[in-house]
Amino acid sequence: MVRVYDLTRALFAAVGLAAVLAVDIPVPREAIPRQIVTSSAAGEAPGANYSAGTIEAKQAPSAAVAREQRAVTGFIARRYRVADEAAARFVATAYRAGKESSVDPLLILAVIAVESRFNPVAESVLGAKGLMQVMAKFHMEKIALHGDQDVLLEPEANIRVGAQILREYLRRFGETETALQMYAGAFNDANFVYARKVLAERSRIEQTLIRLRRPVCAGLVPSWRSSRAPLLSGQQRSSRHELISAAA
């Protein structure tokens, strides 16, 4: 009986020692980073771009938005004789900047069309620079987020700064026409000439998208109702402004 007791005690002691060793053995260091990287990558935004210590996520547009951007790109490339690749970059940047600033991307593109005809290195005698002809001396605090004033000759920075300026004026005045006149430095123009030009150009760009959607809508909307389709917001604003001007 003593021998059996001794053997049993020795067996339990061995099992206990194995359990202690199993708990105390550390996980290899090289395994820890691999586990951490795997878990963080699972929650990472697709297409994230890391640069200059910041993280800027550039997600690919949805299929519908990508199709829309291609149509707008084609229109701009033809109308302003811009290379397809350059036009595509301008359009994509305008859509991103519009989303960031809550500004209509077609309005941004219309301002570019009127201001520079999509010439990224355009400069005026008054000092306005780039695609959206930004006046550096009035907007240094916005430009400083991207670099010095020479950064205005870089399309992406110029469009983002221009979109921020538009957002500021839209919020301040609450009306597209007035905001555009302020953007042009023509606030006292009672005829709203600049705003009319921009909104007319926006309407031309928008017509491209209306034609793009027409085949899809044709099968969904009865033909007798097609002529009664509601005006789009840009057209409504333009029509309202014309009526006000006529009444004045």
Give me the mean pLDDT over the 36-50 stretch.
31
Give me the mean pLDDT over the 201-212 stretch.
94
Decide if pLDDT at 223 tops 80: no
Decide if 76 contacts 109 (C-beta within 8 A).
Answer: yes
Q: Which of 8-12, 71-75, 157-161 has the lowest mean pLDDT?
A: 8-12
Structure confidence at residue 33 as a pLDDT band (50, 70, 90): very low
CA atoms within 13 A on the CB side of 27: 7
Decide if 208 contacts 200 (C-beta within 8 A).
Answer: no
Whole-number pLDDT of residue 215 = 58
pLDDT digits (tens, 9 = 90+) for 47-93: 333 232 332 445 667 888 999 999 999 999 999 999 999 999 999 99
Mean pLDDT, the chain, rounded, equals 74
Place of tokens 């957002």: 167
Question: Which amino acid, residue 179?
Answer: A
Listed by start position, the domains of the chain span 63-217+232-247
Compute the distance between CA of residue 102 and CA of residue 113 in angstroms, rounded to an integer.
20
Compute the distance between CA of residue 183 and CA of residue 169 in angstroms, rounded to an integer.
7
Whole-number pLDDT of residue 211 = 86
Q: Which of 13-17, 29-33, 129-133, 170-174 has the lowest mean pLDDT?
A: 29-33
Whole-number pLDDT of residue 77 = 98
Compute the distance between CA of residue 39 and CA of residue 20 in angstroms, rounded to an integer.
29
Compute the distance between CA of residue 78 and CA of residue 68 in angstroms, rounded to an integer.
16
- How many helices and strands (H and E) does the chain possess? 11, 4
Which range has the top average pLDDT, 3-7, 17-21, 97-101, 212-216?
97-101
Q: Which residues pair with 135 in a beta bridge?
A: 128
Compute φ and ψ for 179, nearest 5 degrees: -60, -40
Compute the distance between CA of residue 89 and CA of residue 110 in angstroms, rounded to an integer.
15
Compute the distance between CA of residue 164 and CA of residue 97 in angstroms, rounded to an integer.
8
Decide if pLDDT at 6 tops 90: no
Opening angle at CA 49, ends 48 and 51, nearest 5: 145
Structure confidence at residue 25 as a pLDDT band (50, 70, 90): very low
Report the CATH fold assignment for 63-217+232-247.
Answer: Lysozyme (1.10.530)
